[in-house]
Amino acid sequence: MSQHPAQSSFTHSLDDLKALSESVLQMAKAAGASHAEAEINLGFGQNVSVRLNETETIEYNRDKGVSVSVYFGQQRGNASTSDLSPQALQETVQAACNIARYTAQDAFCGLADPELLATTFPELDLHHPWPISVEQAIELAKECEAAARDVDSRITNSEGASVSTYEGLFAYANSLGFSGGYPSSRHGFSCSVIAEDGENMQRDYWYSSARSAEDLDSAQFVGRRAGERTVRRIGCQRIKTTQVPVLFEASLASGLISSLVGAISGGSLYRKSSFLLDSLGKQIMSPLVNITEQPHLKRGLASSPFDNEGVATKARTLVENGVLQGYMLSSYSARKLGMVSTGNAGGNHNLIVSHGDLDFNGLLKTMGTGLVVTELLGQGVNMVTGDYSRGAAGFWVENGVIAFPVEEITIAGNLKEMFRQIVAIGNDVLVQGSKQTGSILIERMTVASE
């Protein structure tokens, strides 16, 4: 994999980290370990925040860490350190070995299956340094906040705006001969403001996140969006308890997909703590729903050529016409289930939810009368049963048009039913994290007033 010319901003090169991880493996072998793996991370970044046009915080972070796992047959030990000196690495390996010797045997532990390890490393364009000075970042943050406060005179206060930049570099190696790593970056803007109208106070926020600064929404756009979202919440009303269609705005719809991921992840499945046990090949969602995992998207926020164990990632279909096609498994959970790793040790890679032709207003028209949810509060999701009950705020919709904002309500249902009752997915796709989806319209949920 090609190294970025700006790599000199790291204290070590990728080759340095690979050499260090190899030396750790040698130490583990010398200590009698049958297998070992090591991951070394470096990272640095800055974050500035302003509030009411004054600089509030300037933070720099620079961190490094080594994590070592050793195996004595089927006994595993893990230890970590933030010191990269040879003596510290030796002591960390020794600590991992000591732990392993006192650990119970586990027939399912061990490195990934050799034939699954990545052998090619596509260039995914994940590293884009943003050489922004603190002064420039402060100016951008002030622009962002000003754009929010300029939206409406009722915006009287602010929780601030921030500009963050981060670069990381890591190398992972194991005793099966795998060695890989790459640099990456992630930058962002965020803003949150408060509006007042008489006794009524409301807050809302917006943010943008990307691998490259050039892919971020502008500071003014993020601020303006935060301001508009805040002002539209003024004049919240209560509603009577009822059962109606519910539209999850795109920024929250990804949370529904997160619940799906949790339910089809190996840990939940082998512990039998999932409402989707034994669902492979079964209809678990509306026939409208198609979800693919695309780990090799250029500049993707969750792109990677291999997972945390070196297993090659590959594009696949997770849900096809509502039918579950695959689980999310690491080597350990796969062995527990008598299956094969899907390259998801460490999580999912760019889940893309397909959508129809409707934009947000089109979804409102389809809904007719119901609730748009723009904020969720509390946890309220039982992953064993699928029961779903969360505090919410949003907008009441009548005849396909937003009528008024609502707050202090609870929405309730069961994820099994909710997934099957998806009647439309909007084309208003947000790219803010590892899951990309438009707004999701669910046919019916219970909406209860406090």
Same domain, 355 and 224: no
CA-only gyration radius of the chain, Å = 24
- CB neighbour list of residue 175: distance below 8 Å, 6 or more residues apart: 25, 28, 29, 33, 35, 36, 37, 111
| C-alpha span between 384 and 378 (Å, rounded) | 17
Same domain, 253 and 352: yes
Domain count, the chain: 2
Same domain, 216 and 242: no
Same domain, 356 and 386: yes
Q: Show which of 198, 231, 264 is a domain's final residue.
A: 231
Same domain, 94 and 121: yes
Where on the phi/psi map is residue 346: left (φ > 0), alpha (ψ -120 to 50), or beta?
A: left
How far is Cα of residue 241 from the mean position of the Cα atoms in its chain?
33
pTM: 0.92
Q: Show which of 231, 251, 269 is a domain's final residue.
A: 231
Q: Show which of 231, 263, 285 is a domain's final residue.
A: 231
Instruction: Dump the DSSP string for 224-257.
Output: HHHHHHHHTTTT-B----EEEEEEE-HHHHHHHH
Decide: helix, strand or coil at residue 331: helix
| C-alpha span between 51 and 141 (Å, rounded) | 9
CATH code, domain with 175: 3.30.2290.10
Same domain, 369 and 394: yes
pLDDT by 10s per residue, the chain, length 450: 333 333 348 999 999 999 999 999 999 999 999 999 999 999 999 999 999 999 999 999 999 999 999 999 999 999 999 999 999 999 999 999 999 999 999 999 999 999 999 999 999 999 999 999 999 999 999 999 999 999 999 999 999 999 999 999 999 999 999 999 999 999 999 999 999 998 889 999 999 999 999 999 999 999 999 999 999 999 898 899 999 999 999 999 999 999 999 999 999 999 999 999 999 999 999 999 999 999 999 999 999 999 999 999 999 999 999 999 999 999 999 999 999 999 999 999 999 999 999 999 999 999 999 999 999 998 889 999 999 999 999 999 999 999 999 999 999 999 999 999 999 999 999 888 899 999 999 999 999 986
For residue 112, what are the CA distances in angstroms to 152, 295, 375?
Answer: 56, 19, 40
Where on the phi/psi map is residue 2: left (φ > 0), alpha (ψ -120 to 50), or beta?
A: beta
Question: Burial letters for 254-288: b for 16+ Cβ neighbours within 10 Å, e otherwise?
Answer: bbbbbbbbbbbbbebbbeeebbbeebeeeebbbeb
For residue 286, what are the CA distances in angstroms to 198, 337, 381?
Answer: 44, 26, 20
| Torsion angle of the four alpha carbons 330, 331, 335, 337, in this order, in degrees rounded to the nearest 10 | 10
Q: Could you tell me where the DSSP H helices lie in 39-185?
A: 86-101, 134-149
Residue 433, phi then psi, degrees to nearest 5 = -165, -145
- CB neighbour list of residue 116: distance below 8 Å, 6 or more residues apart: 311, 312, 331, 340, 341, 343
- Other CB atoms within 10 A of residue 404 CB: 13
| C-alpha span between 384 and 390 (Å, rounded) | 16
The token duo for 41 is: 């991370």
Place of tokens 């000199």: 8
Same domain, 140 and 262: no
| C-alpha span between 392 and 375 (Å, rounded) | 6
Same domain, 379 and 341: yes
Same domain, 155 and 245: no
Same domain, 20 and 142: yes
Range of the structural domain that residue 405 is part of: 236-450
Same domain, 226 and 256: no
Strands 435-436 and 351-353: parallel
